[in-house]
Amino acid sequence: MSAAKATSGNLFADDPAFQITAQTISVLPPLPLAGPYDYMVPEGLSVQPGDFVEIPLGRQTQRGVVWGDAKGDVESSKLREIYGVLPAEPMPDVTRKFIDWVSAYTMAPQGAVLRMAMSVPDALEPPKPIFRFTLSTDFDPSSLRMTPPRKRVMAFLGENPAMEQGDILRETGAGVSVVKGLVEAGAVRRLMVKPPSPFDLPDLSIGRPNLSDEQTIAADALCDRVEAGGVSCTLLDGITGSGKTEVYFEPIRAALAEGKQVVVLLPEIALSAQWLQRFRDRFGVVPALWHSEVGQARRRDTWRSVADGSVKLVVGARSALFLPYKDLGLIVVDEEHEHAFKQEDGVIYHARDMAVARAHLGGIPIVLASATPSLETLANVEAGRYYRVELGNRHGAAVLPSVEVIDIRQDKPERLRWITPTLKKRLVETFANGEQAMLFLNRRGYAPLTLCRACGHRFQCPNCTAWLVEHRAWGKLQCHHCGYQAKAPDVCPACGAEGKLAPCGPGVERLYEEALETFPNIRIEVATSDNIMGPKAAAELVQRVHNHEVDLLIGTQILAKGYHFPLLTLVGVVDADLGLAGGDLRAAERSYQLLTQVAGRAGRGDRPGTVMLQTADPANRVIKAIAAGDRNAFNEVELSQRMTHGMPPHGRLAALIISGKKENEVDEAAWRIGRVAPRGDGLMVLGPAPAPLSLLRGRYRRRFLIRADKGVKMQALIHDWLSQVKTPGSVRVQVDIDPYSFM
Ligand code: ADP
Ligand code: ZN
């Protein structure tokens, strides 16, 4: 056989299981700097593309995925042999294509993308077998020396199907040795069984809820896309409270009815207790969750069950896209406009955009849901690339809240206070009516800046270009970029003055202090990522608000999303101008979206809601658009401004971030890259310039911004550009295609 193999190359060439056993293959290891490497397949071993294999790499043993035929860049006599194939479902074709696609688009190495798809190393271990015990049928009990525990075990097994040892011991009070003795005597047999899937199948017999006419039309349109099969992208465009979730549950059901898997991406999965409850009501099961707080054992089960197709429904953060779905039939991206879908480190990608690519590669439908769709998505609708279905009314008797603008220059709060007299009056009325209110301030901590009134010293992070934020509850100053903490001092470190340090501006803690003094008799809760950590805390808070154990909620953007509190009728936005400062490309859009979401929390039940926006700039078009409830007018102006400057969605952007620990090295590298910057029609390169966060986590940062017309092949251009420059290993060059952060 070996002689034959040596001459004919592959004895089993006709056998599909041996497709690429032509002795050499390429294997991709999940390493941040790697592409695939060539290996030999030892004789007698067969591998297919997608197989998980063990390989020698340098002096280590690595795991990787068979990516395809050998590239042939290394002479075959120099290739090493793979060690073996792991007992896991091969990675599906479409997942590998997706990884290649994401790698090409984001310009991250394939291995870095693969790493996101192999985030659970344990999943490649065979699952622990489960043993059950049952009576042997052909055993003559009279030959057995009976003892009372043996008798109990035999009787128990006689009455029950095959049982696990733990159950037997618990039910009979017998010890381990009793069961062992019975097995050795031949009276009891030990069976190895396949572990049951830890995930229940969704219950498809639960009926469709009573959908309104508008909801029915939307749901049917989405179900049609699923039934038609093939790729399609549909924007589910519905105002807050219109029942988008109930509507997209219907195509989910349709896909499940075809036996397909479904993934739903949510921006803040850990805070989505209410959503999960509704899901449970509709499908009778908890979906498999996929986010950073899911424990290792559960991750392993989930990964394997996604791969073998036994889990049908996954709800997750952006990384859920990279699971090895056996038969994915539908993707839903809820709150598609959310910037939380952009991953900013490692592989820099936008999960919504990658989800659309995944749908294309898989030939399946995708639904993007939002009350404030991104301009990118709206442009795709305009261009006819995406369908759109609309929901223009709130569910039931609920209507959109009325919006009032408070000009804080006229209606001034007291000194060192932030709640205006008008808002205060409305809060009093709301509590008097037995209703709930929310104060929104998108700033954690007590005060965003601490200043010495004697010398003007400001407390800055030693590792970042950022002020330290006071967290009075912990007695600390903290950097919100790198987590650096220092004890809040009494004495100014610069001039030594005592008692001169003053907090500047409000954070939610300070607002809480004010609310406590202003409304001593009402129940107030603060919700920020500092105290609402994880699903459990979020679920408990939701429960307390629902039970009306809270009158006033004070919080940051974690309160903006998704929540439905029927008694919540007043939302006060303490500083509506906050998101407009900074002024990056999407500041207005983002601020509009956030304020719409926050406003959307009010009046979702039978009682109408009011939103009060405190602003020093009532003429600002974002404020005016929110007040007028005119999304289209806002979007039109925003789009035309972007058009004038060739900005997305009309043009394309990319950023380069050059960073390192030594400032002179970073500057030098940035200068050298800048010197060979591409030029051309429809192309503009800005930089190098110090990033607004010119120091972050101890690294100096310089940026380039590349703007190009739509037709320009951005990735090829950047690839050619960067390949002309050699930068030292101590300097990192990150490419950010379609940047959302300009910091
Ligand atoms: P959106 O996501 O569009 O803001 P939701 O899907 O959260 O809206 O729906 C708002 C509320 O109305 C939720 O509590 C939801 O359960 C309820 N709801 C929406 N449609 C229906 C329906 N057809 N029947 C019963 N309740 C509904
Ligand atoms: Zn810092």
**DSSP letter for each residue of 522-535:** S-EEEESTTT--HH
| CB of 274 shorter than 6 A to ligand 1 | no
| Three-state SS at 665 | helix
Atom of ligand 1 nearest to the CA of 371: 3
| CB of 395 shorter than 6 A to ligand 1 | yes
Q: What is the average pLDDT score of the chain?
A: 91
| CB of 246 shorter than 6 A to ligand 1 | yes
Q: What average pLDDT does range 644-672 have in this prediction?
A: 96
* pLDDT tens digits for range 438-463: 999 999 999 999 999 999 999 999 99
Contact by Cβ (8 Å): 431, 437: yes
Say what the pLDDT of residue 19 is.
47
Considering only CA atoms, which residue is closest to atom 14 of ligand 1?
564
Q: Which two tokens mark 696?
A: 């972050």
**Proximal ligand: closest to the CA of 600:** 1
Considering only CA atoms, which residue is closest to atom 18 of ligand 1?
243
Atom of ligand 1 nearest to the CA of 564: 14
Atom of ligand 1 nearest to the CA of 244: 3
Q: What average pLDDT does range 457-474 have in this prediction?
A: 94
Q: What average pLDDT does range 460-469 have in this prediction?
A: 94
Q: Give the best-scoring range by mean pLDDT among 200-209, 214-223, 631-640.
A: 214-223
**Proximal ligand: closest to the CA of 272:** 1
The rounded distance, in Å, linking the Cα atoms of 29 and 51 is 12
| CB of 739 shorter than 6 A to ligand 1 | no
Mean pLDDT is lowest, of 21-30, 366-375, 588-597, for 21-30
- CA 565 to ligand 1 centroid distance, Å: 11
* pLDDT tens digits for range 473-531: 889 999 999 999 999 888 999 999 999 999 999 999 999 999 999 999 999 999 998 88
| CB of 242 shorter than 6 A to ligand 1 | yes
Contact by Cβ (8 Å): 597, 442: no
* pLDDT tens digits for range 397-453: 888 899 999 999 999 999 999 999 999 999 999 999 999 999 999 999 999 999 999
pLDDT greater than 50 at residue 13: no
Could you tell me what percent of the chain has a pLDDT over 70? 97
The rounded distance, in Å, linking the Cα atoms of 485 and 462 is 10
130 — pLDDT class (breaks 50, 70, 90) = confident
Output 275 or 409, whichever has higher pLDDT.
409
Q: Which residues surround ligand 2, an ion (CB under 5 A)?
A: 461, 463-464, 479, 481-482, 484
Atom of ligand 1 nearest to the CA of 278: 16
**Proximal ligand: closest to the CA of 244:** 1
What residue ranges in 429-523 does DSSP mark as E strands? Answer: 436-440, 449-452, 469-471, 476-478, 485-487, 501-504
| CB of 393 shorter than 6 A to ligand 1 | no
* pLDDT tens digits for range 18-61: 444 458 999 999 999 889 999 999 988 989 999 999 999 999 99
Q: Give the count of beta carbons closer than 10 Å to the beta carbon of residue 457.
A: 17
**Proximal ligand: closest to the CA of 469:** 2
- CA 251 to ligand 1 centroid distance, Å: 16
* pLDDT tens digits for range 148-157: 999 999 999 9
583 — pLDDT class (breaks 50, 70, 90) = low
**DSSP letter for each residue of 581-614:** TT--TTHHHHHHHHHHHHHTTTT-SSS--EEEEE
- CA 246 to ligand 1 centroid distance, Å: 6
- Alpha carbon separation from 399 to 98, 199, 423 (Å, rounded): 42, 39, 21
**Proximal ligand: closest to the CA of 481:** 2
- Alpha carbon separation from 4 to 1, 7, 12, 45, 428 (Å, rounded): 5, 5, 11, 16, 90
Q: Which of 220, 334, 564 to mutate to test the pocket of ligand 1 (most atoms within 8 A of CB)?
A: 564
| CB of 603 shorter than 6 A to ligand 1 | no
pLDDT greater than 80 at residue 533: no
Q: What average pLDDT does range 325-350 have in this prediction?
A: 96
Predicted model pTM: 0.89
pLDDT greater than 50 at residue 9: no
* pLDDT tens digits for range 717-738: 999 999 999 999 999 999 999 9
Mean pLDDT is lowest, of 197-201, 224-228, 534-538, 619-623, for 534-538
Q: Is the peptide bond before 373 cis (omega within 30 degrees of 0)?
A: no
Report the chain's terminal Cα–Cα distance, integer Å.
63
| CB of 272 shorter than 6 A to ligand 1 | no
Mean pLDDT is lowest, of 74-83, 120-129, 403-412, for 120-129
Say what the pLDDT of residue 5 is.
35
The rounded distance, in Å, linking the Cα atoms of 717 and 447 is 44
Q: Return the amino acid letter for 619.
A: A
270 — pLDDT class (breaks 50, 70, 90) = low
Atom of ligand 1 nearest to the CA of 238: 3
Q: Return the amino acid letter for 459.
A: F
- CA 240 to ligand 1 centroid distance, Å: 9
Considering only CA atoms, which residue is closest to atom 5 of ligand 1?
243
Among residues 506, 560, 114, 589, the alpha carbon closest in space to that of 337 is found at 589
Q: What average pLDDT does range 164-171 have in this prediction?
A: 90
- CA 733 to ligand 2 centroid distance, Å: 21
| CB of 209 shorter than 6 A to ligand 1 | yes
- CA 340 to ligand 2 centroid distance, Å: 21
Contact by Cβ (8 Å): 404, 425: no
Q: Is the peptide bond before 198 cis (omega within 30 degrees of 0)?
A: no
- CA 476 to ligand 2 centroid distance, Å: 14
Atom of ligand 1 nearest to the CA of 242: 3
Atom of ligand 1 nearest to the CA of 334: 2
95 — pLDDT class (breaks 50, 70, 90) = very high
Q: What average pLDDT does range 363-391 have in this prediction?
A: 97
pLDDT greater than 80 at residue 282: yes
